[in-house]
Amino acid sequence: MRTEPPSPARGRVADRCRRFQSDSPPGGSTDDIVIAMEPETWIVADLGGTNIRLAIAAETGVIKKTAITRSWEEASSLALALKSFLDETGIDPSRVSRLVVAFAGPAIPVDGQYRFTNVPIAFTRAELKAVLPGARTTIVNDFAAQAYCLMNLKPHDVEALQPFDGTWPEGNRVIYGPGTGLGVAQLVMDSGKPLAIAGEGGNVAFAPPTDELARLRHRIVDEVARRRPENPDTTMKPRQEDILSGPGLENLHFALHGKRQSAEQISDLAHAGTAEAVDTFTHFFDSLAGMGADLALTCLPQGGIFISGGMTRRNLKLLDRYRFRRIFEARWRYREILTGIPVFVLTRDNSGLEGAAIIASMP
12, part of any domain? no
The DSSP output letter for 288 is H
What pLDDT is attached to residue 229? 66
- 38 and 168 together in one domain: no
Range picked from 10-19, 28-37, 85-94 for highest mean pLDDT = 85-94
d(CA 202, CA 245): 9
pLDDT at 30 over 60: no
**Confidence bin at 118 (pLDDT 50/70/90):** confident
User: What b-and-e string marks burial along 33-45, b requiring 16 or more CB atoms within 10 Å of the CB?
Assistant: eebebeeebbbbb
**Are 161 and 124 in a shared domain?**
no
Residue 68 has pLDDT above 80, yes or no: yes
User: Stretch 71-94: mean pLDDT, rounded?
Assistant: 92
Inside any domain, residue 55: yes
Cβ-contact 35, 14 below 8 angstroms: no
Q: What DSSP element (H or E) covers 43?
A: strand 41-47
pLDDT, average across residues 40-48? 92
Q: 271 versus 29: which is more confidently predicted?
A: 271
Q: Which amino acid is at 80?
A: L
Q: For 278-328, how does the pLDDT look when each residue is reduced to its tens digit (9 = 90+)?
A: 999 999 999 999 999 999 999 999 999 999 999 999 999 999 999 999 999
- Is pLDDT at 245 greater than 90 in this prediction? yes
- Do 302 and 328 sit in the same domain of this protein? yes
Q: Give the distance from CA 151 to its chain's centroid.
A: 15
pLDDT attached to residue 11: 34
Q: Are residues 159 and 267 in the same domain?
A: yes
Q: How far is CA 17 from the centre of its chain?
A: 26
Both 137 and 245 in one domain: the answer is no
Question: What's the average model confidence in pLDDT over 63-78?
Answer: 89
Supply the range of the domain harboring residue 102. 17-148+351-360
Pair (132, 172) in one structural domain? no
Q: Summarize the confidence of residues 325-332 as an average pLDDT.
A: 94
Average pLDDT over residues 340-363: 93
Cα gap 232→50, rounded to integer Å = 25
Asked if residue 186 and residue 143 are part of one domain, the reply reads no
Residues 194 and 225 in one domain: yes
Q: State pLDDT tens for residues 148-193.
A: 999 889 999 999 999 999 999 999 999 999 999 999 999 998 888 8
Which CATH number belongs to the domain containing residue 173 in this structure? 3.40.367.20
Cβ count within 10 A of residue 150: 27
- Whether 19 has a pLDDT exceeding 50, the answer reads no
89 and 34 Cβ atoms separated by less than 8 Å: no
The number of beta carbons lying within 10 Å of the beta carbon of residue 258 is 9
12 burial type by CB count under 10 A (0-12 exposed, 13-18 middle, 19+ buried): exposed
pLDDT range class, residue 230, cuts 50, 70, 90: low
Residues 6 or more apart whose CB falls under 8 angstroms from that of 98 comprise 40, 41, 42, 43, 135, 136, 360
Q: Are 186 and 298 in contact (CB under 8 A)?
A: no
Judge whether 69 lies within some domain: yes
Does one domain contain both 221 and 121? no
pLDDT tier for residue 26 given thresholds of 50, 70 and 90? very low
Indicate whether 2 belongs to any domain. no
- pLDDT, position 282: 98
Judgement on whether residues 122 and 200 belong to the same structural domain of the protein: no
Average pLDDT in the chain: 87
CA 124 to chain centre: 21
pLDDT beyond 60 at 131: yes
The count of structural domains within the chain is 2
Side-chain-facing half-sphere of 283: CA atoms under 13 Å: 28
Q: Do strands 136-141 and 182-190 pair parallel, antiparallel, or not at all (unpaired)?
A: unpaired
Same domain, residue pair 164 and 313: yes
- Is the per-residue pLDDT at 205 higher than 70? yes
* 64 lies in the same domain as 200: no
The verdict on residue 21 lying in a domain is yes
Does residue 262 form part of some domain? yes
Nearest to 74 by CA among 90, 92, 53: 53
Q: What was the pLDDT predicted at 232?
A: 53
Query: What per-residue confidence (pLDDT) applies to 8?
Result: 37
Residue 5 in domain = no
Sign of the alpha-carbon torsion through 260, 265, 267, 270: negative
Note the pLDDT of residue 233: 54
Does residue 329 lie in a domain region?
yes
Mean pLDDT of 44-58: 93
pTM: 0.86
Residue 119 sits in a domain whose CATH number is 3.30.420.40
Bridge partners, residue 140, by sequence: 102
Question: Higher-confidence residue: 60 or 44?
Answer: 44
pLDDT reported for residue 221: 86
Whole-angstrom Cα distance, residue 94 to residue 58?
Answer: 17
